[in-house]
Structure 1
């Protein structure tokens, strides 16, 4: 189904939000839009919504399986406006959001669905799940100048770290700022406010909840990495977005001949690799 605006979608097809989880995909350009949609459809989301301008082409076979909303994904604060509108429209529904050329992975996702994951997480009285945005990049930028290659994808196997997140009264309880990947290695080309790799990309909507441009919520408990009594499940988003931006930006592209370094490793497109590297964890879910 296709809608000319988010407002028209909410007016004419709000029943698409009656059951979750719902995936929100924001297409900033045409790169790997189809593979992003296929990946999240395969994970069992009840509804997948694509936000995209008219010029982005999507194969007809995929369009029959998703909701497409005409949307300016280059507008300022475009993501938070859409997400917060949907939070208000569908309280209690679990949502997930990402951009094109980003791929969600969670423990055992090859044999368990996103519904299985969130059912367990809800039983643990958690309203959000921490996900790490793990930078992916092509191994050979001469053959792949966009830095996006599913067949030649690599990631950093180490170099990740966390710092305490400070509030008005000192460090916040169970909250950390996470860093690493290309945003850390090429931080001179990345604004300080965009260097974090943590994102609360899976969350349960509720009345009054709002997402900020820093990927944090106005409910502090939603920004915690674990509950007070034990560790919880975490997820990862394999993302070409930073690599793509660094090679598209005239201020950085000529400084980067390759993203490869001694800590690069081939991405296997499997949750076990991320578990082995410590980039996701199952918590109490076995």
Structure 2
């Protein structure tokens, strides 16, 4: 669609691109599964899909016609979060935004037949400004055939081993209302290779922009209500981001790659690329949306 030479140039078009949403922001860290990630989110029905990536990374011609390309280096986390906060500040209040990385795929209840906009309209009617997403680790079943741990055809996930702990408020020492830290997947099974601050699998990946809102380095927001998993009166929708990101990192890291011969264990299951599997495993919640 459009190519922007910088984030600043992209933000000049905010009246057009960041007026209503939902807008998907895909942060491209490497050249793994760029096209499939962008195609997947185009199929979800986002009003705009924005790819932030270096100029040297290629996008397939059919995909390039449908996405907005922004020249941006996603290799430094601090730069990434600063860039996301600039986008949040530039977006119109109430505009729904979503962010993920390449080789990550959004799934939500009934996504095979309903668009992300339909889901967010319902979520907005329930007076929710943000949605909790669980980052579910995917990994290749055969690392001999796929040494980078990425394979869409041979993708596996963990069907158990997920748990939550109360999230404490450091100022009061009390548990924060309707907030939990979630763990599981590869970050739990191989936690000796994962920094403590990177072990959580919860991410508020869908949210509405508003003045003063800031995304923090731990994937939470400075507005505590945005970090809640549900409203006070009933369960709300949640979604899942099925992600090869942890598997890629564990196989690229010299400190872990030789210790891990296979990611499969007795609780591995083939990933079916369907929301029903995630619902059946309790990895996302339909709430009151039928």
The structural deviation recorded for 1:2 is 0.6
- In 1, Cα distance between the equivalents of 2:20 and 2:213? 19
Partner of 2:186: 182
Residue 137 of structure 1 is matched in structure 2 by: 139
Match of 2:110 in 1: 108
Mapping 1:161-172, distance limit 5 Å:
161-167=163-169, 168-169=171-172, 170-172=174-176
**CA RMSD across the alignment:** 0.8
Quick one: distance in 1 between partners of 2:83 and 2:112?
30
Partner of 1:10: 11
Task: Give the Å deviation of 1:79.
Answer: 2.3
Deviation by residue 1:49-68 (Cα, 9 ceiling, x = unmatched):
00000121111111110000
2:287 is matched with which residue? 283
SS of the aligned residue for 1:253 comes to coil
Q: CA deviation at 1:11?
A: 1.8
Cα distance in 1 for residues equivalent to 2:129 and 2:160: 29
Q: Distance in 2 between matches of 1:93 and 1:60?
A: 29
SS at match of 1:245: helix
Structure 1: segments with no counterpart, 5+ residues: none
Q: 1:226 to 1:51 in 2, by over 3 A?
A: same
Structure 1 residue 29: deviation in Å? 0.4
Q: Distance in 1 between matches of 2:215 and 2:108?
A: 22
Residue segments in structure 2 that go unaligned for 5+ positions in a row: none
Question: Is residue 2:81 matched to residue 1:94?
Answer: no
Q: CA deviation at 1:13?
A: 5.8
Change (3 A) 1:68 1:275: same
Q: 2:219 aligns with which of 189, 194, 215?
A: 215
Query: Structure 1 residue runs of 4+, over 4 Å off?
Result: none
1:12 deviates by 4.5
1:265 corresponds in structure 2 to 269
SS at match of 2:277: helix
User: What residue number does 1:26 align with?
Assistant: 27
Quote the Cα distance in structure 1 between the aligned partners of 2:30 and 2:261. Answer: 23
Matched residue pairs, number? 286
Q: Give 1:104 shift.
A: 0.2
Report the Cα distance in structure 1 between the residues aligned to 2:189 and 2:15, rounded to whole angstroms: 43
